[in-house]
Amino acid sequence: MIILENLSKEYDDVTAVRNLSMEIPDGEIFGLIGPNGAGKTTLLRICCGLLEPTAGRVLINGIDVRGNTAAAQSEIGYLSDFFSVYDDLKVWEYLDYFARAYQLTPAEIKARVAEVISDIGLETKRDAMIRGLSRGMKQRLGIGRAILHRPKVLLLDEPASGLDPQARIDLRILLKKLRDGGATVVVSSHILPDLEAFSTSIGVMERGVMLRSGRVNTLRDEVEGAGTRTIEIAWLGPASHVKRFLADREISVEAIGDREGAFPFSADDDELSTLLADMVAAGIRLTGFHETMQTVEELYVKLSQGQVM
């Protein structure tokens, strides 16, 4: 678990993190969202002990990062937003080097390096020199380095930057696998559809303040109103028929168009199924009927205040 207590960071003339307190429970994949300069990188660097906070503290699995940096760091895998790799090493040598630095036992290093190379999809580049890798491949290697020592907490700053579509899909699968293995993951990203695919919770940060954070579904309920669902429909034939049908049941027709539309619905699946059957029985020629959910992008737009530092 990650606990932030009254955390602040001031640079010369900028407050990058303002009195931030929150908890990220075990097993979450927490998506950190915010405009450029929101304080995301600063926050992640404080969490892994690379930056001293001006005030407050971070606990990683109960360990105070400031007082016990080395112990906390043994629990953390960190991928920086900009990092360099050693060009003159082969892929396997780079990971082997860090496996030794992380003090994996000699007996397990070979197998672990092979496992990580497979996890990051670089099997065919195992013996390639790093200088010849593409940007996205170097990014994958950075992720590989961050997970080598099986950290319980992963802090990834813009891990999808530079990755091709397949690598982004692979990253989603890898993050879910790490979570299934018990890791807690914090990912900062501007690629909201990616966060949508793997985040269990999100935090919206602006000007050093965490405006809102929590489980994605809880935030959806807050934005939409708990228990309110949105049903999208499409049909053939006159819209007047559809509007009359819904209005008779006191369902809002505000967003019902000529051929398609949406309406709010506040009951369970049983009643939704009955409504669908009744629409068909009433002669409405439905071509679409499904529930939609707010995307993380829509949530972000609603939760953020659009302020840029």
Which residues lie near ligand ATP (CB under 6 A)? 11-12, 14, 16, 34, 36-42, 81, 309
**Shorter beta-carbon distance to ligand ATP: residue 190 or 259:** 190
Name the minimum Å distance from CB 70 to ligand ATP.
Answer: 23
**Shorter beta-carbon distance to ligand ATP: residue 36 or 124:** 36
**Shorter beta-carbon distance to ligand ATP: residue 130 or 155:** 155
Name the minimum Å distance from CB 220 to ligand ATP.
Answer: 24
Characterise 52 by phi-psi region: left (phi > 0), alpha (psi -120 to 50), beta (else): beta
> Token digits for 86?
């050693």
**Shorter beta-carbon distance to ligand ATP: residue 210 or 216:** 210
Name the minimum Å distance from CB 89 to ligand ATP.
Answer: 28
**Shorter beta-carbon distance to ligand ATP: residue 17 or 122:** 17
**Shorter beta-carbon distance to ligand ATP: residue 39 or 261:** 39
- Residue 60, number of CB atoms within 10 A of its CB: 25
Name the minimum Å distance from CB 33 to ligand ATP.
Answer: 10
Name the minimum Å distance from CB 208 to ligand ATP.
Answer: 7
Name the minimum Å distance from CB 24 to ligand ATP.
Answer: 17
